[in-house]
Amino acid sequence: MKFLKRYQFFMVAMLIILVMTIFNRDLGIKAMQIAGYSIREMILVIPPVFILLGLLDIWVPREIMVKFMGEGSGLKGIILAIILGSAAAGPLYGAFPIAAVFMKKGVKFSNILIFIGAWSTTKIPMFLFEMSALGLPFALTRLLVDIPGIILIAYTLSMLIPKDEVDKIYEKAEMME
């Protein structure tokens, strides 16, 4: 019963695709191909992310993370969050397990939000592509608009989300093993 509850969304989605395939074979096959591509992509991305997470969890002591990205880190924590997010590879869903480890290590909530924002918008490969395809002025302008925007959004969210809610998020991250 627990299995059925845990995978109910997946089973409903598969049922919908099956029904769709019965009524429109081409559309159903296309949906299966897209789902297969997404599953393959996740299989290629998730294992390296979890290996890096394990190394981060073991090799980097909590005290160092608190010192460089914790409550008193200031500008140093912001810059490090941007660099780590920008240097990351892979889709955005890879950032969330890393953010959970950051929470376990005592990283300040706003720095975690900055890290996630940087991961989603300031990746180095994206910047290089924009430089070659759209020109250096565009790429630099976008970067110079995005970075302050990420920081502003992170601090705004940190102020708007009640402390007890943030504490609950950190508690959930602590419970994940």
What single string gives the DSSP state of each residue in 145-173? HHHHHHHHHHHHHHHHS-HHHHHHHHHHH
Render pLDDT for 135-150 as a digit per residue (tens, 0 to 9).
999 999 999 999 999 9
Q: Rounded mean pLDDT of the chain? A: 89
For residue 89, pLDDT over 80 is answered with no
- Measured in degrees and rounded to the nearest 5, phi and psi for residue 86 equal -70, -30
The answer to whether the CB of 89 falls within 8 A of the CB of 133 is no
The answer to whether the CB of 156 falls within 8 A of the CB of 88 is no
Q: Which of 10, 8, 26, 28 is nearest to 18 (CA)?
A: 28
Q: Which of 47, 166, 176 is nearest to 107 (CA)?
A: 166
Q: How confident is the model at residue 176 (pLDDT cuts 50, 70, 90)?
A: confident
The answer to whether the CB of 139 falls within 8 A of the CB of 97 is no
Q: Is 107 helix (H, G, I), strand (E, B) or coil?
A: coil
Say what the pLDDT of residue 62 is.
81
Q: How confident is the model at residue 79 (pLDDT cuts 50, 70, 90)?
A: very high
- Whole-structure pTM value: 0.78
Q: How confident is the model at residue 177 (pLDDT cuts 50, 70, 90)?
A: low
Render pLDDT for 7-38 as a digit per residue (tens, 0 to 9).
888 889 889 999 989 999 999 899 999 988 98
